[in-house]
């Protein structure tokens, strides 16, 4: 249908502009010289404004109105297939959300956050929260303004969460998080009372270049098409995609914590594969987009924890790791290595934390963000509140803000309402794993033989290729047979760690 093709062509240009913005962001965090930040901020702000203007342009509205009623959502066009009908519904939904934000606000938000990432990096390096606080205060105010513009029923934080996890609200998420906190706290206390696991050998100095080499070896064993994905280093590991044919991931090398690199690679490749296997034949339409940040995070945690922390995975990969680090690991038995990589002990750094206490880090950030956006907490109080909550949840307290409230890049990017998706990602990953285990009861044996293709195939077939065709709940039910709950995740952790800790 000509009208639909006209709309798609217009949207493809918008998507291409957005991909240029992603490329600028990737370059800023990897290879851009630091002195270029001012001009880069202007570039990012300009492209962001152009993308927003196109998404809210009268020309776009006119093309969309020919096919769907903007007020009611009733599809006017005839002879459209289900994918095209879904695309129209999503275009309308996104348009109504986008038109609430004035172009001037989008530009100010983009320019502020582009500058803020550099301010954050400097403050983190120098352990100086006070230097970052004025910038963060502006970001909080912009997010409060954004919540007011977008609108909400019960809590301003709902409007921000909806940007990353559509339809998610505090009312829906708090019961999940409450049960999660109780279950995790109970398990953490039980494991902390057990005999400690010796993992000191993991924290010796491991050569930088060898770490990079092993990260690339993992990608090679995963049979990643390196014509469409590349791995680089950055201050904070991340994944970003310009198109299903162009996915970028980064890792961070820590000399005295070499497993961090391996888990970062697996985590980010999970994100990257999701982007690579979206239905690219629909690029330019909302169908060729990730469903939500919670679903996106489920893919990274699926690979990092359910696969990358499994015994089967390391039965195959540990000999390769020993070959890479013979001096450090040749005399370390498999059992000692596997138990050490799954040792549970509170860690100040979220991205370095074990999988049992990981979500407690998210609950801390969730509580702080809620209060900041509601105006019941001031930016200047963040370090104090952060340290108190760390002590309460995990029994540890940061000695520096660099290891505390300055550790994450997200607030400098303006991403408030984003952190809950990390916990949701763990829950969704365990939910999806129910379907995976049912389809492949021999998955442990296949992993131990170095077979990873079936994992990629399952995720592509059941999750990636659907794009935004299904809702999160529909996807959870399709793959696992039920709506999202915290139970599969808690059951998995209980069974695994009782065995590892022999309790």
Catalogue the active-site residues: 268
Q: Identify whether the C-beta of residue 245 lies closer than 8 Å to the C-beta of residue 272.
A: no
Measure CA 338 to chain center.
26
Using DSSP, state whether 230 is helix, strand or coil.
Answer: strand
Measure the CA–CA gap between 241 and 26, rounded to whole angstroms: 9
Helix (H) or strand (E) holding 250: strand 246-251
Residue 14, number of CB atoms within 10 A of its CB = 18
Structure tokens at 233: 């280093």
Phi, psi of 256 (to 5 degrees): -100, 25
Report the Cα 482 to chain-centroid distance in Å.
23
What distance in Å separates the CA atoms of residue 499 and residue 334, rounded to the nearest whole number? 16
DSSP letter assigned to residue 68: B
SS3 151: coil
Helices (H) and strands (E) in the chain, counts: 21, 3
Nearest Cα to 15, choosing from 192, 243, 306?
A: 243
Between the CA of residue 483 and those of 173, 284, 445, what are the distances in Å?
Answer: 13, 30, 29
Residues whose CB falls within 8 Å of the CB of residue 304, separated by 6 or more in sequence, listed in order: 263, 266, 267, 270
Strand 229-233 vs strand 239-243: parallel, antiparallel, or unpaired? Answer: unpaired
Which of 404, 461, 462 is closest to 432 using CA atoms?
462
| Residues 6 or more apart whose Cβ sits within 8 Å of residue 78 | none
Beta-bridged to residue 246, according to DSSP, are: 243
Q: How many residues does the chain have?
A: 503
Measured in whole angstroms, how far is the alpha carbon of residue 238 from the centre of its chain? Answer: 8
Task: Name the token pair of 229.
Answer: 């994905």
Q: CA-to-CA distance for 372 and 416, rounded, in angstroms?
A: 10
Kindly report the backbone phi and psi dihedral angles of residue 34, in degrees, each rounded to the nearest multiple of 5, phi listed first.
-55, -30
User: Measuring CA to CA, which residue among 365, 483, 497, 342 is closest to residue 423?
Assistant: 365
Residue with tokens 């370090």: 383
> What burial class does residue 250 get, using C-beta atoms within 10 Å of its C-beta: 0-12 exposed, 13-18 middle, 19+ buried?
buried
Residue identified by tokens 């004035």 is 102
- Tokens 């909302």 map to which residue? 286
Pair of tokens at residue 67: 């096919």
Residues 365, 419: contact at Cβ < 8 Å? yes
């Amino acid at each position: 249908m000509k009208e639909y093709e006209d709309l798609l062509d217009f949207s493809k240009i918008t998507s291409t502009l957005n991909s240029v913005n992603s490329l600028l962001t990737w370059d800023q965090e990897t290879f851009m010289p630091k002195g270029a930040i001012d001009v880069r901020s202007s570039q990012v702000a300009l492209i962001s404004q152009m993308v927003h203007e196109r998404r809210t342009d009268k020309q776009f509205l006119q093309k969309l109105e020919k096919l769907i009623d903007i007020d009611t959502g009733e599809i006017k066009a005839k002879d459209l297939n289900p994918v095209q009908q879904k695309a129209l519904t999503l275009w309308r939904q996104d348009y109504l959300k986008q038109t609430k934000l004035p172009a001037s606000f989008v530009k100010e938000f983009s320019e502020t956050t582009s500058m803020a990432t550099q301010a954050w990096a400097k403050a983190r390096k120098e352990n100086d929260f006070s230097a970052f606080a004025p910038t963060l205060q502006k970001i909080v105010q912009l997010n409060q303004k954004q919540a007011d513009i977008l609108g909400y029923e019960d809590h301003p934080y709902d409007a921000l969460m909806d940007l990353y996890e559509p339809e998610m609200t505090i009312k829906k998420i708090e019961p999940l998080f409450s049960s999660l906190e109780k279950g995790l706290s109970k398990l953490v206390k039980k494991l902390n009372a057990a005999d400690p696991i010796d993992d000191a050998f993991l924290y010796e100095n491991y050569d930088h270049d060898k770490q990079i080499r092993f990260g690339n070896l993992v990608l090679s064993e995963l049979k990643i098409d390196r014509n469409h994905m590349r791995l680089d280093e950055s201050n904070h590991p991340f994944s970003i995609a310009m198109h299903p044919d162009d996915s970028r991931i980064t890792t961070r090398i820590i000399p005295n914590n070499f497993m961090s690199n391996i888990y970062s690679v697996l985590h980010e490749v999970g994100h990257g594969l999701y982007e690579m296997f979206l239905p690219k034949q629909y690029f330019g339409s909302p169908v060729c987009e990730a469903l939500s940040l919670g679903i996106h995070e489920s893919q990274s945690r699926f690979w990092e924890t359910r696969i990358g922390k499994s015994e089967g995975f390391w039965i195959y990969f540990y000999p390769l790791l020993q070959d890479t680090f013979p001096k450090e690991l040749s005399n370390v038995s498999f059992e000692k290595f596997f138990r050490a990589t799954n040792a549970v002990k509170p860690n100040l750094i979220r991205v370095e934390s074990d999988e049992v206490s990981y979500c407690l880090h998210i609950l801390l950030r969730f509580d702080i963000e809620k209060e900041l956006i509601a105006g019941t907490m001031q930016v200047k109080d963040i370090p104090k509140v952060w340290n108190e909550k760390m002590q309460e949840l995990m029994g540890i307290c940061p000695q520096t803000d660099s290891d505390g409230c300055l550790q994450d890049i997200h607030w400098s990017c303006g991403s408030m309402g984003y952190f809950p998706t990390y916990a949701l990602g763990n829950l969704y990953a365990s939910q999806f794993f129910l379907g995976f285990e049912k389809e492949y009861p021999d998955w442990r044996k296949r992993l131990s033989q170095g077979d990873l293709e079936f994992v990629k195939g399952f995720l592509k077939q059941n999750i990636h290729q659907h794009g935004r065709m299904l809702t999160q709940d529909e996807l959870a039910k399709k793959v696992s047979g039920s709506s999202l709950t915290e139970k599969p995740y808690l059951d998995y952790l209980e069974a695994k760690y009782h065995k590892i800790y022999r309790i």
